[in-house]
Amino acid sequence: MNELTDAATSNDPAEGLRAVRSLRHLADRLEALQVEKARAEGWSWQAIADVLNVSRQAVHKKYGRRS
């Protein structure tokens, strides 16, 4: 556990930036999964867009062709 805390406070930008990159990627994956699920459950593009706080067009463009 100490190791984790140490790493978190190491102030190493390289590690911090890798964490940021990984978080973006992680968010993308989770978004894809959740959007797919919402659509399968009958959510409209507008409803999904509202929760994600983006435009309907943005969500539809990103995921529309697949579902």
Partner 1 sequence: MFEKFTKPARFAVIDAAQIAQGSGNKRVDSRHLLLALVRSDAKVRAALTAVGAEVDAVDKHLTAGVENNELDAEALAAIGIDLFEVKRRVNEQFGEDAWQAAGGAKRSKKQPRFSPDAKDALKAGLLESMKDEGREIAASHLALGILGVTGPGSDSLEEAGIDVRALREQLAGR
Whether residue 37 contacts residue 29, with contact meaning beta carbons closer than 8 Å, is answered with: no
CA distance 15 to 30: 22
| Subset of residues 19 to 58 that bind partner 1, contact rule: CB under 8 A | 19, 21-23, 25-26, 28-30, 32-33, 36-37
CA distance 62 to 51: 15
52 Cβ contact list (under 8 Å, min separation 6): 31, 59
Least Å distance, CB 60 to partner 1, is 13
Closer residue to partner 1 (CB): 4 or 42: 4
Interface positions with partner 1 (CB under 8 A): 4, 7-8, 10, 15-16, 18-19, 21-23, 25-26, 28-30, 32-33, 36-37, 62-63, 66
